[in-house]
Amino acid sequence: MNLYSQLKVHDVTTKNRIVVSPMCQYSSEDGFANDWHLVHLGSRAIGGAGIVFTEGAAVLPEGRISPVDLGIWKDEHIPELKRITDFISRQGAVPAIQLAHAGRKASKAAPFEGGTFLTEKEGGWKNIMAPSPIPFSPDLPAPIELDQTGIDRIIDGFRYATRRALDAGFQIIELHFAHGYLMHEFLSPVSNKRTDNYGGTFHNRTRLIVDTFKAVREIWPSGLPIFVRLSVTDWLDSEPSWDLEETIELCKVLKDHGADLIDCSSGGLVPYQKVKPESGYQTHFAAEIKKKAHIATGAVGLITSPQQADHIIVTGQADLVYMAREMLRNPYFALNSAKVLHQDTVWPKQYERAKR
């Protein structure tokens, strides 16, 4: 088994273990995909990746990080997404989508436009939701504490988005439960101070995540995989927080409900987290979860070279390698790395003359 081995999950088989990780493009209007998304994602499919993920698609309009995020909260979004999945599939890659809700980190400008909080007058929105009225940072307004009606609406948002993802031709769904967005906010006692059935104990803090997953699994066909992205740790030593041990327990629960793979990321909950990113700094999380929760995992985080990516698979630390920034720098990573690793891979016939 190596980076260029196939991976079969139910009825879906990838041609290799290389994944284009979800990456925000901040290029949508009213949630719609457009030519930028087609070219951005399509070029990585041409470049030989096994799985190509969209950026996180908001399941509700107020669940966007920014007004220019991709969305899947209405049926009108489907045709443009279908155009993209058709193209990705024709290149031999598996089209995948990440479903997301930004929670208290919503309503911000794109990073290249300052990344500041946007009021309604500035194009943002007032309904910033979270488990508790605690802002991400002191300079931001406090979010609205979700009541049961709001929680039910979010579960429905994921449910209906799942049906749209199916209609749009995606073959893998990933639920974004990481990086300090809404679901992660419920998991961590740092951001969740509730005293009802959604706060306090591990069972209560994971309730929304499990209920949302079950709602998605009911809609998504059994032959198609569901992945989950989790922040394995909050990177906080100074206070009780979400950590590897609780993540492992949650992974066991999700596996029992039909999760197929855990995309192992970390952090993002608070601006004062203590993390020192370095090459492959999250890979050991994938290895621990695979070993202790007995579920397939994906490694992500500053994975940049063919040898590094291959080593992760060969040594069994993870089943997939997610790549983000390196894919921005090199959309043809999978094609070029095959030569470095002395592996056979199929080039697009239009590019064959450059293979030698």
Return the active site residues.
181
Reading phi first (left if > 0) and then psi (alpha if -120 to 50, else beta), residue 125 is in beta
Residues 282/298, Cβ–Cβ less than 8 Å = no
Residues 255/293, Cβ–Cβ less than 8 Å = yes
Residues 47/354, Cβ–Cβ less than 8 Å = no
Q: Cβ of 87: how many Cβ atoms within 10 Å?
A: 18
Entry field: residues in the chain: 356
In degrees and rounded to multiples of 5, residue 76 shows phi and psi of -65, -20
Please give the sequence-ordered ranges of beta strands (E in DSSP) within 137-266, or none if there are none: 144-145, 172-177, 226-231, 261-265
Helix or strand (DSSP H, E) at 293: helix 283-293
Of 14, 173, 10, 157, which is closest to residue 81 (Cα–Cα)? 173
Q: What letter does residue 248 receive in the DSSP assignment?
A: H
Two tokens at 81? Answer: 């997404």
d(CA 116, CA 113): 8
d(CA 269, CA 183): 11
d(CA 281, CA 274): 13
CA atoms within 13 A on the CB side of 251: 31
Of 133, 78, 48, 76, which is closest to residue 341 (Cα–Cα)? 48
Residue 353, classified by CB atoms within 10 Å of its CB into exposed (0-12), middle (13-18) or buried (19+), is exposed
